[in-house]
Amino acid sequence: MEKIIEKRMPLLGDDFPEMKVQTTHGVLELPKAFAGKWFVLFSHPADFTPVCTTEFVAFQKRYEKFKALNCELIGLSVDQVFSHIKWEEWIKEKLGIEIQFPIIADTGAVAETLGLIHPGKGTNTVRAVFVVDDKGKIRIILYYPQELGRNMDEILRIVEAMQISDKYSVAMPANWPNNELIKDRVIVPPAKDVKTAKERLEKAKAGEFECFDWWLCHKNLNR
């Protein structure tokens, strides 16, 4: 009896699916094309649409900031590569912005693999964001409806925050680096046993970090 393999969209912590894609920069193999780098793959409903155009301009204006975080950008929609190229030309001619990152011309296969097709909207893709780390692991997935443009500063923030969390084994508070309680400080991971919980308050007294209680401790980030 043939074994049926259930197909599901990838989840946080999964390896980004291996795929060969046609882009405005030629054929790329993902995630291999960005080996050793983080990357943000983001889908948009369609070329030559108003909200998507504002998003591409916003991403391009922050492209250097993403690259400073060792992070690349790659867009996607179910449009032909010719449409992408013509849309890029229009953006450069009319808005004075040259899109420098690749855009995937999807046949629908990538959108199906990543779960990007917007229910009830034909072949249009949702505004999805996949943040993939330098080991090819999916770290963050965001989904937006077609009617809402994304906040690119938030996407920059989450890439930087995840990199800091990984490097220093800390957690990041709400609205970091402008948290209402601890400002730009970071959170010490909670104690997982009684002994560590007791040691927390002793270390706080010694000035190693500060605590509201043993389970909510924070410290300066010494980079």
- For residues 97 and 87, what is the distance between their CA atoms, to the nearest angstrom? 11
- Note if 211 is an active site residue: no
Nearest partner of 166 among 191, 202, 141, 137, judged by Cα: 137
- For residues 15 and 23, what is the distance between their CA atoms, to the nearest angstrom? 21
| Token digits of residue 84 | 């992408």
The owner of tokens 């948009």 is 44
Query: Cα–Cα distances in Å, from 117 out to 49, 77, 124?
Result: 17, 10, 6
- Known catalytic residues are 52
